[in-house]
Amino acid sequence: MTEQLQHNDGASAERAKYRNAALKAWCTIRRRRREVASRGVRRIEEFLPPRKVGSLEHPETLPLEETKEESFGNGLVKVFQKTPDDIVCGRFWELRWAFGCPLDCNYCYLRGTMRGRMRPSFVKVEHVLAALDEAFPRIKRPSLFNSGELSDSLMNPLHMAKIADKFEAQEKHKLVTLSKFGPKAVGFLIEKPRKQVICAWSINCSEVARRWEKAAAKPDNRIEAASLVAQAGYDTRVRIDPIFPIDDWQAHYEDLLYSIFSAFEPRKIILGTPRGLWKTIKYARAAGVDMSWSNYFREDSGWGKKLDFDQRKELYSWFYDKLSSLGYDRRRVTMCKETRQMWDALSLKYVPLTCQCYGPAAFNS
């Protein structure tokens, strides 16, 4: 009997040993999976203080000369100001709810905004909501609040859902989201449609995405996400920027336009060509990314290096003609951070000293 009990105790101890070993192995596997899943993304608990985000300056931003209110909530709602003489681009409201982007596109200007640091950081939602409470009644003119200037708007859907709900509590101002994420990031938008939210996607042709946007959702997935929110009733817009003159670019971008219009019709389309701010180039090189995107630059402007004028004009003219052939109203197309000379060369009208993409003229366009 004693021997039997000892045998049973030994067997129990052996089973316990195996269970503990299995549990330890599972914990190790789970920890490693979490590490892989969260690679390149900071934990939500790690927040930036509002003043730190509010004080960030874009590399190309000029000092303000006006004394009017230009920011609210310690700079979480802030005017983006850029008025060099040769650029048709101006003021719009930024919503600085976060900084950084996990997608890390090779050419991204955010590299220069904070000296190469791209890992996402967030402001606590309650600070963002308080800044909006301060800004809404004091900004008299109905305005767009761009949440995609310092970060990808959909990189944290939980946070963005709360911010979007704040805009639904009033009827004057609208939130603009700008993203390169796919369908998995838009669930909160579809489950609860909102009237005060404009959804925009940055979508490039597949070849450009393959070369320099490797961590972003594939263009077809971005189109699918945009189509889903358009079907849900959102004002949905597309940004094709930067347009690169890669080999056979007409065929690549024709495929992109056909893919977009076969899925939905954007309310507005924003075009842009590559810009090379010196800080962007500096920190992209320091990060060791593929710099072949910078090989196309030929001239300087008030917004960094650009393709040469004639090549940019050819790209824009092609897009305007192709969109017109698809029955798309040219008045719903705009260009981002382009020169006055280019707008005049294409016989396009613009509103001086305001942003053509997110300024007052774009509110209901």
Mean pLDDT for the chain overall: 87
The answer, yes or no, to whether residue 9 has pLDDT greater than 50, is yes
For range 146-171, the mean pLDDT: 97
pLDDT the model gives residue 43: 42
pLDDT the model gives residue 58: 54
186's tokens: 């838009």
The tally of CA atoms less than 13 A away on the side-chain side of residue 142 is 11
pLDDT the model gives residue 48: 64
- State which amino acid sits at residue 296: Y
- Weakest mean pLDDT among 69-73, 228-232, 266-270: 69-73
- In angstroms, how far is CA 94 from the centroid of its own chain? 12
Q: Dump pLDDT digits (tens) for 277-299.
A: 899 999 999 999 999 999 999 99
The answer, yes or no, to whether residue 176 has pLDDT greater than 70, is yes
pLDDT the model gives residue 212: 98
Q: Dump pLDDT digits (tens) for 32-65.
A: 554 544 444 444 335 667 766 666 565 444 444 3
pLDDT the model gives residue 103: 95
Query: How do the domains of the chain map onto residue ranges?
Result: 72-362
For strands 77-80 and 92-95, give the pairing. Answer: antiparallel
pLDDT the model gives residue 124: 96
The answer, yes or no, to whether residue 172 has pLDDT greater than 60, is yes
The answer, yes or no, to whether residue 2 has pLDDT greater than 70, is no
pLDDT the model gives residue 42: 43
The answer, yes or no, to whether residue 18 has pLDDT greater than 70, is no
26 pLDDT band, cuts 50/70/90, is low
For strands 235-240 and 269-271, give the pairing. Answer: parallel
351 pLDDT band, cuts 50/70/90, is confident
For range 60-71, the mean pLDDT: 53
For range 207-225, the mean pLDDT: 98
For range 182-207, the mean pLDDT: 98
- Weakest mean pLDDT among 67-76, 180-189, 305-314: 67-76
For range 62-86, the mean pLDDT: 73
- Weakest mean pLDDT among 115-124, 213-222, 261-270, 305-314: 115-124
- Weakest mean pLDDT among 77-81, 105-109, 139-143, 165-169: 77-81
- Higher-confidence residue: 88 or 122? 122
115 pLDDT band, cuts 50/70/90, is confident
- Weakest mean pLDDT among 3-12, 60-69, 277-286, 334-343: 60-69
User: Considering the entire predicted model, what is its pTM?
Assistant: 0.82
Answer whether CATH 3.80.30.30 is correct for domain 72-362. Answer: yes
Kindly state the percentage of the chain with pLDDT values over 90: 69
pLDDT the model gives residue 12: 61
pLDDT the model gives residue 31: 57
The tally of CA atoms less than 13 A away on the side-chain side of residue 29 is 6
pLDDT the model gives residue 49: 74
For range 329-337, the mean pLDDT: 95
The answer, yes or no, to whether residue 180 has pLDDT greater than 70, is yes
pLDDT the model gives residue 16: 60
